[in-house]
């Protein structure tokens, strides 16, 4: 038994502060081999911060982490993984657009090999003992949330970890899958793993945990052995709940005046359902504050968002007796529903605008006639609202970003106070708000209710609901499991209701799952998402164009024309291959055109003699220029953190400037033996074509069949998941810029051979076609997609266009028009075929723009505080 006493994970005195908010205070926890150690606590108690510190994702302010007796020196996921600590995250670290097998391989980085070539087979072998309800070839996005969660856990276990962190692993699971998970945990324990199990569901903890630690407000409340709280003793459970909830907070909530029976009903929702919730029946009277409670992720958020038009719900909603059609937020407002989002950074604060602007933005006529904003009126209205809420600020013109969370929240709430509607829906009214501001917010809400508004408050803090609400609906798995009224509205009653809930999948969950599997198996959807579809389309287009041109021109199929076509295609193909590397990792490089020009100019100095040695040195010099440009771009974009578009526009100008400086006018002669070589043919195939096809195939194989190609794709598809899996994201992305510029340099050399003279602007026209070729091949700006063979065909098509247009007697300008139109068509086609994506993320292709995510897990408090920490007046993080 001595082995089971061995300490596998030891956290000591860990503290972490985010911008003045203490997330962890002197927290310590010890996990031993072969046992499950449960960590329980309410929402926001500091559980996830503790996990991030243990897994190396977060550097603590003080304290140490030891894994298997070795100190974790550098806070990075890959170091922790090397030491044998694996983490299964609640919102998973899987790249959803990849298959199960590919995700398994990704997890290998820096840890342990599971076999490279026959991935699917080896993944199947590794996953076999876990007995999972899906195959290795399936796309993760087509799996149900429960299956994804199981995969996340199984993937971590496949590494035979010394320490396994399981973050709320059962949140998405039904009873059957929970049994499955518990079997997995048992087998992992047999191997001697130490498991830190984070949960807020006490029934599970009772079944599997040998030890239990309670955390509240970032402080460890105590650790208890199994003997100290027996499974059948219900008083013990109450004690644990009491520890989680803590001492009663002595906040003086505003008095609840009670609702008269004859108060008119403002909201009545009948059989209301939507994504991840329902059907539910809700009603709220005028003057009433109704709370929505539950553990995070049980559909409360979706319900609230459906009520205010941000998601689409079905069922009947009546506001003040009239049926309301809520298809958008604007429609919700028109129907008398105001929404105050809890996600200040993403959805309610205009951080760069002033407090006054933020408070008065919803006002209309009150600000001035004929659409004018009169500053005096604006100031007066603002001052009234600010006084009633005791908002603190230095000047009405102070930017929102400089205020504390509490004052920001008050400014946001001012909108609802200045422009009251019959129904006010507030999501997390006091998240990240200090104690005093909380009270003022509660009072303001109560005042609104006293003035006749009906208010719905969704909150993950049960104590807040107890103090504030007249009535509370408790949610679990998307339905109301309990309705508490009057004196029954108690924190412990609320927590009790969702901690001790019987779990059975609701009809909406089953429906969601069925829909998922249907969508995944639908052949048309599947075809639309296949990487080969865009390519097929372009091949058809190319053939069509070729046949048409051949009918109109005799010379087209002549071997000299074809040969020159392929030679012309070389530079474009090379630079487009480069662009594809950048796009693969969600990068972007518009400076390739200038890079090509510069290399042509440099070649006109260095690659001038026919001597093999000096030509070789010259070529190497040119490639070196390319690498330097790539490093510069990578540095500016990834290290300094300037948006790729702007950064490469700037380097575009600078590189072009250098080219002009070197050759103010076309001069010098490029000559090397390649000119003839490229034009010679083997059989009827020009060498040029063989080179291009060879590179495309090699790159395609690299991308699809090697682990490094897989990692590059993963880094492009989902940077956060890749980082959690321990991939060297930064290195990959900078390498992609280098690769891009290097190939642009190759393209420059090939172009130099064709033009033969140092012209400083000869590459400029290649920037747009380099993108067009990639998009025709199926690439996307969001990264991770595309195909090198597709790029080649795209480049062939564009070259063919250039070649064919004069042959069929069309004006040359047609080429430009066609290229532009094709680019847009290709991007639109991709955008629409991509809508079949089931991960529910509509990534908006805008740098750093907040995502209007629908079903995404809510950002943690820490993440939000961190994002507040980042530059206030730019929105270009990514």
Partner 1 sequence: MSTLPLQDPSSLPIPDGQPSTKRQAAFLRDAVYRFPARYRVVWLALVFIIILCLVAAPAAFHTDSIRFILAIAGVLAIASTGQLLVVMLGGIDLSVPAIMTFAGAIVVHQSESQNGKLVEAIVVAIVIALVIGLVNGLLVAVVKLNALIVTLAMAGVVFGVSLLWVGSNYSSTGTVPETLGDFANSNLGPISIIAFIGIGVIVIIALLLRSTRTGRSYVASGTNPAAARVIGIRVIAYEVGGYVAAAGLYAIAGILLAGLLRNPNETLGAPYQLQTIIAVALAGAALGGGPASVVGTWVACLFLGFVTQFLTLKGYSGGVSELVNGALLLIAVMLVTVGSRVRSAVRFLHRRTNAASREAPSASSP
Q: Which residues within the stretch 634-663 sit at the binding site for partner 1 (CB under 8 A)?
A: 636, 640-643, 645-647, 649-662
Side by side, the strands of the sheet bearing 423-427 are: 337-340, 423-427, 454-458, 289-293, 471-476, 479-485
Member of 22, 226, 379, 443 binding partner 1 (CB under 8 A):
379
User: Applying CB under 8 A, does 21 fall inside the site for partner 1?
Assistant: no
Residues numbered 150 to 189 that lie near partner 1 (CB under 8 A) are none
Can you tell me which of 148, 351, 477, 482 binds partner 1, judged by CB under 8 A? 351
DSSP output for 682-741 = ETTEEHHHHHHHHHHHHHHHHHHHSHHHHHHHHHHH-HHHHHHTT--HHHHHHHHHHHHH
Cα–Cα distance for residue pair 409/347, rounded to 1 Å? 12
Determine if 22 is a binding residue for partner 1 (CB under 8 A): no
| Residue 874 CB, nearest approach to partner 1 (Å) | 4
Burial class (CB in 10 A: 0-12, 13-18, 19+), 116: middle
Asked if residue 257 binds partner 1 (CB under 8 A), the reply is: no
Binding status of residue 519 toward partner 1 by CB under 8 A: no
Q: How far is the CB of 502 from partner 1 (least distance, A)?
A: 36
Shortest spacing between CB 545 and partner 1, in angstroms = 17
Q: Quick one: which of 399, 618, 626, 634 contacts partner 1 (CB under 8 A)?
A: 399
> From CA 620, how far away is CA 615, in angstroms rounded?
9
Give the x/- contact pattern for partner 1 in 781-800, rule: CB under 8 A. x-------------------
CB of 394 to partner 1, least distance (A): 4
Q: Which of residues 291-310 bind partner 1 (CB under 8 A)?
A: 308, 310
What's the residue count for the chain?
A: 878
Q: Looking only at residues 407 through 446 of this chain, which bind partner 1 when binding is defined by CB under 8 A? A: 407, 415
The stretch near partner 1 (CB under 8 A) out of 163-171, 346-354, 674-682, 737-745 is 346-354
DSSP one-letter string for 385-436: HHHHHT---S-TTSBGGGS-HHHHHHHHHHHHHHS--SEEEEESTTTT--HH
Return the residue of 36, 195, 304, 815 that touches partner 1, per CB under 8 A: 815
Rounded to whole angstroms, the Cα distance separating 260 from 31 reads 55
* Min separation Cβ 131 and partner 1, Å: 42
Q: Is 666 in the site for partner 1 (CB under 8 A)?
A: no
The answer to whether 631 contacts partner 1 (rule: CB under 8 A) is no
Instruction: Tell me the sheet residues that pair with 480.
Output: 475
Question: Whole-angstrom Cα distance, residue 725 to residue 140?
Answer: 15
- Sign, CA dihedral 249-198-163-188, equals positive
Among 170, 177, 354, 579, binds partner 1 (CB under 8 A): 354
**Rounded to a whole number, what is the largest CA-CA distance in the chain?**
100
Residues facing 757 on adjacent strands: 669
Q: Going along 33-113, which residue ranges are E strands?
A: 36-40, 62-67, 70-71, 85-88
Edge-to-edge strand ranges of the sheet holding 265-274: 277-285, 265-274, 314-319, 322-323
As measured in angstroms, the least distance from the Cβ of 378 to partner 1 is 9
Task: Report how far Cα 105 is from the mean position of its chain's Cα atoms.
Answer: 21
Determine if 827 is a binding residue for partner 1 (CB under 8 A).
yes
CB 215 to partner 1: min, Å: 26
Backbone φ, ψ for residue 427 (5° rounding): -100, 125
Residues 834-853 close enough to bind partner 1 by CB under 8 A: 842, 844-852
Task: CB nearer to partner 1: give 636 or 742.
Answer: 636
Residues 6+ apart with CB under 8 A from 260: 287
Residue among 243 and 353 whose Cβ is closer to partner 1? 353
Q: Among 260, 664, 682, 809, indicate the residue that binds partner 1 (CB under 8 A).
A: 664
75: burial class by Cβ within 10 Å (0-12, 13-18, 19+)? middle
Nearer to partner 1, 151 or 717 (CB): 717
Determine the Cα–Cα distance for residues 670 and 607; give it in Å rounded to an integer: 6
Please report how close the Cβ of residue 325 comes to partner 1 at its closest, in angstroms: 15
**Which of these, 374, 371, 397, lies nearest to 386 by C-alpha position?**
397
From the list 231-239, 269-277, 669-677, 814-822, the region that binds partner 1 by CB under 8 A is 814-822
Residue 350 or 702 with smaller CB distance to partner 1:
350
Nearest to 28 by CA among 215, 194, 244: 215
Residue 368, by phi and psi: left (phi above 0), alpha (psi -120 to 50) or beta? left
Closer residue to partner 1 in complex, CB, 218/342: 342
The reply on whether position 353 binds partner 1 by CB under 8 A is: yes
- How far apart are alpha carbons 455 and 446 in whole angstroms? 9
Give min distance, CB of 666 to partner 1, in A.
14
Question: What track of x and - describes contact with partner 1 for positions 267 through 286 (by CB under 8 A)?
Answer: --------------------
Which of 333, 539, 674, 808 is close enough to bind partner 1 by CB under 8 A? 333
Q: How far apart are CA 860 and CA 874, in angstroms?
A: 21
Closest CA to 9 of 46, 44, 35, 43: 35
Q: Which region, judged by CB under 8 A, interacts with partner 1, from 176-184, 282-290, 373-381, 448-456?
A: 373-381
Look up residue 655 and give its DSSP letter: H
Q: Which helix (H) or strand (E) holds 829?
A: helix 813-833
Determine how many CB atoms are found less than 10 A away from the CB of residue 855.
15
Nearer to partner 1, 166 or 659 (CB): 659
**Which residue's CB is nearer to partner 1, number 698 or number 825?**
825
Helix, coil or strand: residue 856:
coil
Counting contacts by CB under 8 A, is residue 89 touching partner 1?
A: no
Nearer to partner 1, 192 or 853 (CB): 853
Residue number with CB closer to partner 1 (238 or 352): 352
Q: Which is nearer to partner 1, 21 or 691 (CB)?
A: 21
Give the Cα separation of 415 and 361 in Å (integer): 7
Please spell the DSSP secondary structure of 184-217, one letter per residue: HHHHHHHTT-EEEEEES-HHHHHHH-SEEEEEET
The residues in 549-608 that bind partner 1, with binding defined as CB under 8 A, are: 588, 590
Report strand pairing: 289-293 vs 454-458. Answer: parallel
Q: Rule CB under 8 A: choose which of 367, 512, 550, 757 binds partner 1.
A: 367
Window contacting partner 1 (CB under 8 A); options: 355-363, 493-501, 550-558, 785-793: 355-363
With CB under 8 A as the rule, give the number of residues binding partner 1: 116
Q: Is 372 in the site for partner 1 (CB under 8 A)?
A: yes
Using rule CB under 8 A, residue 819 touches partner 1: yes
Which CB atom, from 308 or from 574, has the smaller least distance to partner 1? 308
Q: Alpha helices, DSSP H only, in 191-299?
A: 202-208, 234-245
> By C-beta, is 714 or 801 nearer to partner 1?
801
Q: Which of 15, 281, 398, 679 binds partner 1 (CB under 8 A)?
A: 398
Q: Is 397 in the site for partner 1 (CB under 8 A)?
A: yes
By CB under 8 A, is residue 855 in contact with partner 1?
A: no
């Amino acid at each position: 038994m001595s082995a089971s006493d061995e300490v596998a994970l030891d956290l000591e005195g860990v503290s972490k502060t985010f911008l003045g908010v203490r997330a962890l205070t002197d927290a310590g926890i010890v996990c031993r081999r072969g046992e499950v150690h449960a960590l329980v606590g309410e929402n926001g108690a500091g559980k996830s911060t503790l996990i991030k510190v243990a897994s190396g994702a977060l550097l603590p302010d003080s304290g140490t982490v030891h894994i298997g007796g070795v100190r974790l020196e550098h806070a990075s996921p890959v170091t922790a993984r090397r030491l044998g600590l694996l983490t299964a995250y609640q919102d998973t670290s899987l790249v959803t657009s990849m298959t199960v097998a590919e995700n398994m391989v990704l997890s290998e980085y820096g840890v342990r090999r599971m076999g490279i070539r026959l991935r699917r087979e080896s993944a199947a072998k590794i996953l076999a003992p876990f007995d999972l309800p899906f195959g290795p070839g399936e796309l993760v996005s087509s799996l149900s949330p429960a299956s994804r969660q199981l995969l996340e856990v199984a993937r971590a276990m496949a590494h035979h970890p010394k320490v396994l962190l399981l973050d709320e692993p059962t949140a998405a699971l039904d009873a059957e899958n929970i049994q499955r998970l518990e079997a997995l945990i048992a087998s992992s324990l047999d191997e001697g793993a130490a498991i830190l199990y984070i949960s807020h569901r006490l029934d599970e903890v009772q079944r599997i945990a040998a030890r239990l630690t309670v955390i509240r407000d970032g402080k460890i409340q105590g650790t208890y052995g199994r003997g100290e709280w027996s499974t059948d003793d219900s008083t013990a459970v109450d004690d644990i709940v009491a520890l989680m909830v803590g001492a009663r907070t002595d906040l003086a909530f505003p008095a609840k005046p009670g609702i008269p029976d004859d108060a008119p009903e403002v909201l009545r929702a009948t059989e209301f359902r939507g994504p991840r919730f329902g059907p539910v029946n809700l009603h709220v009277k005028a003057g009433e504050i109704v709370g929505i409670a539950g553990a995070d992720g049980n559909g409360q958020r979706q319900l609230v968002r459906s009520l205010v038009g941000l998601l689409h719900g079905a069922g009947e909603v009546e506001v003040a007796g009239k049926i309301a059609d809520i298809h958008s937020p604007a429609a919700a407002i028109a129907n008398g529903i105001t929404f105050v989002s809890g996600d200040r950074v993403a959805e309610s604060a205009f951080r760069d605008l002033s407090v006054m602007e933020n408070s008065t933005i919803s006002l209309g006529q009150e600000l001035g006639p004929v659409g004018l904003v009169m500053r005096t009126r604006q100031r007066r209205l603002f001052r009234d609202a600010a006084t009633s809420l005791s908002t603190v600020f230095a000047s009405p013109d102070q930017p929102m970003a400089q205020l504390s969370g509490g004052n920001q929240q008050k400014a946001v709430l001012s909108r609802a106070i200045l422009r009251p509607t019959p129904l006010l829906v507030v999501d997390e009214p006091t998240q990240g708000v200090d104690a005093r501001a909380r009270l003022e917010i509660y009072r303001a809400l109560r005042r609104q209710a006293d003035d006749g508004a009906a208010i719905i408050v969704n909150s993950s803090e049960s104590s807040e609901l107890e103090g504030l609400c007249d009535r509370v609906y408790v949610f679990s798995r998307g339905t109301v499991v309990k309705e508490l009224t009057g004196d029954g509205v108690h924190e412990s009653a609320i927590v009790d209701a969702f901690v001790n809930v019987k779990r059975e999948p609701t009809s909406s969950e089953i429906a969601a799952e069925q829909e998922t599997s249907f969508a995944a198996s639908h052949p048309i959807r599947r075809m639309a998402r296949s990487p080969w579809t865009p390519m097929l389309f372009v091949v058809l287009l190319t053939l069509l164009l070729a046949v048409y041109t051949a009918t109109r021109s005799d010379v087209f199929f002549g071997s000299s024309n074809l040969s020159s076509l392929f030679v012309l295609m070389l530079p474009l193909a090379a630079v487009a291959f480069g662009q594809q590397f950048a796009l693969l990792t969600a990068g972007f490089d518009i400076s390739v055109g200038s890079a090509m020009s510069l290399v042509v100019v440099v070649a006109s100095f260095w690659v001038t003699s026919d001597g093999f040695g000096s030509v070789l040195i010259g070529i190497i010099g040119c490639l070196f220029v390319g690498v330097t440009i790539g490093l510069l771009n990578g540095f500016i974009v990834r290290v300094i953190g300037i948006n790729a578009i702007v950064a490469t526009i700037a380097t575009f100008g600078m590189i072009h400037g250098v080219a002009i400086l070197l050759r103010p006018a076309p001069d010098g002669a490029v000559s090397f033996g390649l000119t003839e070589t490229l034009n010679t043919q083997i059989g009827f195939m020009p060498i040029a074509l063989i080179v291009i096809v060879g590179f495309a195939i090699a790159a395609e194989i690299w991308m699809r069949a090697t682990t490094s190609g897989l990692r590059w794709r993963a880094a492009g598809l989902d940077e956060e998941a890749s980082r959690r899996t321990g991939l060297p994201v930064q290195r990959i992305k900078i390498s992609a810029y280098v690769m891009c510029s290097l190939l642009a340099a190759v393209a420059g050399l090939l172009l130099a051979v064709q033009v033969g003279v140092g012209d400083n602007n000869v590459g400029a026209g290649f920037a747009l076609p380099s993108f067009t070729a990639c998009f025709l091949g199926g690439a996307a700006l969001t990264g991770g997609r595309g195909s090198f063979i597709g790029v080649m065909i795209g480049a062939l098509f564009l070259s063919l266009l250039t070649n064919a247009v004069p042959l069929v007697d069309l004006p040359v300008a047609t080429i430009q028009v066609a290229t532009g139109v094709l680019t847009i068509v290709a991007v639109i086609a991709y955008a629409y075929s991509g809508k079949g994506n089931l991960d529910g993320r509509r990534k908006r292709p805008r740098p750093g723009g907040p995502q209007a995510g629908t079903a995404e897990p809510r950002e943690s408090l820490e993440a939000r505080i961190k994002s507040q920490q980042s530059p206030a007046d730019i929105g270009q993080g990514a």
